[in-house]
A and B are shown apart, each in its own frame.
Chain A
Amino acid sequence: MVRTYFLLAWTWTRAAAAYPASFWLMTVFGVIIAALDVAVILVVFANTTSLAGFSRDEVLFLYGAASVSFTVCDMFVSNLDRVSQHIKAGTLDTFLIRPVSAWLQLATDRFNGTRVGRVLQAGAVLGYALAVLDLDWRRAWMIPVMVVTGMVIFTALWTLAGALQFALTDAPEVSSSFTYGSQQLSQYPFSIYGRDLVGGVTYVVPLAFINWQPGLYVLGRDDPFGTPEFMRFMGPAAALVLALLAALAWRQGIRHYRSTGS
């Protein structure tokens, strides 16, 4: 499965590399767009030293950790949210009759290697934050765990977004509220949000485990909402549950898909 994935991704990358100038330009532009979110954080902190109890560098740490997970998924699976486009164009049927899973083919469809720039940008911010924050290095093992947990959660979200588009073929933009909305949500410490919203994204959709709960552990801070200590370590379990639900939803979507017949 992994081999097939990289074979398909490599094919698309080679196609894109036929235009090297365009390839590098888009990589650079990807970095610039991603940097806008950092620019907003810097503008906010040009006006204050702390936002809902968190310093600039702590926010950059939370941003960096979530963004590494997000941008990796944006590169490798985000094309799943083009399901509705394929349904409308009638091209989904071709994916279904080939001897590779439709999920893999859709994830690699028009694989875009230029998004690697965003991954590097996110990594650079995370690296900066880790360098300037005075962290307790006995807790650093959590950083790779949280990044991988975040990747599983974002992959599940994109799969859900794709599955949702089998139902909402005319309104695909709704699904980007979940994927890109989750990224926007996880850029800032959850202490800025309302208690109900944080409850929802902790216990209903486990977005709090992308970076907030494990991030609190890495930073050695208590949860302003008073969740118990063990919640910091629940990320991998929550991510697996979400991934299972996403897989089920995806299968339902594929099963109930009726071709346009044209």
Chain B
Amino acid sequence: MSSHIRRCKTIPLYARLVRYGFRKHATYVWAALAGAFTNSVFGVLRAYILIALWQTRPGLAGYDVTDAVTYCFVTQAFIGPMQLFGGGLGIPERIRSGDIALDLIRPASLQLSSLAEDLGRAAYLFLVRGFPPMLLGAAMFGIVVPTDPGRWAAFLAGFAIAVVVSFGWRYLVALSVCWLVDDRGVAVLSLVLTTFFSGLMVPLHIFPGWLGDLAAALPWAAMVQLPTDLYLGKAPVLETLAFQAFWAVVLLALGALGTRAIRHKVVIQGG
């Protein structure tokens, strides 16, 4: 009986946190538009590199030139929603200031409430920072726009899981502040791994030899490369979604362990 009541209250709670995350970021509309502008400019510059490469190697990695250009602008559109350059979570500051102790005694899981807020943030930034680069790419170069609703459904599912994977990774990075005095090192490491091994800079398919195989198996591939391949219709839908879901579950499970660990740590320090 009591568990029944709790379940009824839990779902609306997290739904409300998703909405708050959305509204919180909707306050900074100019910052988001400035981000969209910057992502679009860099998208154009990256597109030219890929165009030049695909002109010398047509059909490389199973993409034609239009696919490569589309790849570039779709991935630029991911930067905001998935926070590919890091951050997006308030946890590191709250750990440093000690406010995290308050968050940990709240009757909702720190991990799930952060996830809910992050999903709201991602939804807002998907709208404001996602569409401008794609529209610019479409206007300047012409990009692939799927007409098959099934492909859109696959892409949106893949994108949603990718946001969860990105949260799972950023949450672990954020928790590491609890053990490290200076978290800038981890932030840089995360930036390097995320931008390079996600496929944000160049598609993972063109990485040479073992580096390509390695990159395709790592969690960052689930963030950028795979949802973009779903958009382009270049990947088997179910296997791709399963691979992404696998990494989402692994990272969230590690995050849950980490949350438990910091709960003990905070109790020791806060005595």
Query: Within the complex, what minimum Cβ distance (angstroms) separates B209 from chain A?
Result: 9
**How long is the Cα–Cα vector from A205 to B252 in the complex, in angstroms?**
47
Q: Is B31 positioned at the interface, with any CB of A under 8 Å from its CB?
A: yes
**How long is the Cα–Cα vector from A200 to B7 in the complex, in angstroms?**
60
Judging by beta carbons under 8 Å apart, are A194 and B48 in contact?
Answer: yes
Judging by beta carbons under 8 Å apart, are A47 and B57 in contact?
Answer: yes
Judging by beta carbons under 8 Å apart, are B202 and A44 in contact?
Answer: yes
A177 with B42, Cβ < 8 A, contacts A39-B196, A172-B34 known = yes
**How long is the Cα–Cα vector from A173 to B85 in the complex, in angstroms?**
14
Judging by beta carbons under 8 Å apart, are A43 and B206 in contact?
Answer: yes
**How long is the Cα–Cα vector from A48 to B50 in the complex, in angstroms?**
12
Count of chain A residues with Cβ under 8 Å from any Cβ of B?
35
Among B30, B49, B196, max chain A CB count under 10 A is at B49
Q: Which chain A residues numbered 12 to 41 have a C-beta less than 8 Å away from chain B? A: 19, 22, 25-26, 29, 32-33, 36, 39-40
**How long is the Cα–Cα vector from A54 to B57 in the complex, in angstroms?**
15
**How long is the Cα–Cα vector from A176 to B52 in the complex, in angstroms?**
25
Judging by beta carbons under 8 Å apart, are A44 and B53 in contact?
Answer: yes
Kindly identify which residue among A47, A51, A184, A194 contacts B206, using a CB–CB cutoff of 8 Å.
Answer: A47
For B184, the chain A residues whose CB sits under 8 A away are: 22, 25-26, 29
A184 with B56, Cβ < 8 A, contacts A36-B192, A170-B30, A174-B34 known = no
**How long is the Cα–Cα vector from A185 to B53 in the complex, in angstroms?**
16
**How long is the Cα–Cα vector from A177 to B33 in the complex, in angstroms?**
13
Q: Which chain A residues numbered 133 to 175 have a C-beta less than 8 Å away from chain B? A: 168, 170-174
Judging by beta carbons under 8 Å apart, are B207 and A173 in contact?
Answer: no
Q: Is A46 positioned at the interface, with any CB of B under 8 Å from its CB?
A: yes
For A39, the chain B residues whose CB sits under 8 A away are: 196, 201
**How long is the Cα–Cα vector from A36 to B60 in the complex, in angstroms?**
22
Judging by beta carbons under 8 Å apart, are B196 and A173 in contact?
Answer: no
**How long is the Cα–Cα vector from A108 to B49 in the complex, in angstroms?**
35
Judging by beta carbons under 8 Å apart, are B34 and A48 in contact?
Answer: no
Judging by beta carbons under 8 Å apart, are A33 and B192 in contact?
Answer: yes
**How long is the Cα–Cα vector from A181 to B207 in the complex, in angstroms?**
24
Main secondary structure of the interface of B (DSSP, over half): helix
Q: Which chain B residues numbered 24 to 41 have a C-beta less than 8 Å away from chain A? A: 30-31, 33-35, 37-38, 41
Count of chain B residues with Cβ under 8 Å from any Cβ of A?
35
Query: Within the complex, what minimum Cβ distance (angstroms) separates A41 from chain B?
Result: 9
Among A39, A40, A47, A188, max chain B CB count under 10 A is at A47
A170 nearest CB neighbor, chain B only: B30
**How long is the Cα–Cα vector from A192 to B196 in the complex, in angstroms?**
22
**How long is the Cα–Cα vector from A104 to B98 in the complex, in angstroms?**
37
A32 with B188, Cβ < 8 A, contacts A170-B30, A188-B49, A194-B48 known = yes
Judging by beta carbons under 8 Å apart, are A32 and B34 in contact?
Answer: no
Query: Within the complex, what minimum Cβ distance (angstroms) separates B46 from chain A?
Result: 8
Q: Which chain A residues numbered 49 to 73 have a C-beta less than 8 Å away from chain B? A: 50-52
Judging by beta carbons under 8 Å apart, are A192 and B192 in contact?
Answer: no
Q: Is A193 positioned at the interface, with any CB of B under 8 Å from its CB?
A: yes
For B33, the chain A residues whose CB sits under 8 A away are: 171
Q: Is B191 positioned at the interface, with any CB of A under 8 Å from its CB?
A: yes
For B60, the chain A residues whose CB sits under 8 A away are: 47
Judging by beta carbons under 8 Å apart, are B51 and A48 in contact?
Answer: no
A177 with B41, Cβ < 8 A, contacts A51-B56, A52-B52 known = yes
**A-B residue pairs, 10 tightest by C-beta:** A171-B34, A192-B52, A173-B34, A29-B188, A46-B208, A170-B30, A177-B41, A52-B52, A171-B30, A174-B34
11 A-B residue pairs with Cβ-Cβ distance under 8 Å, sorted by A, are: A36-B192, A39-B196, A47-B53, A47-B57, A47-B208, A170-B31, A170-B34, A171-B34, A171-B37, A173-B35, A177-B42
- B residues sitting closer than 8 Å to A (CB atoms) are 30-31, 33-35, 37-38, 41-42, 44-46, 48-49, 51-53, 55-57, 60, 182, 184-185, 188-189, 191-192, 195-196, 201-202, 206-208
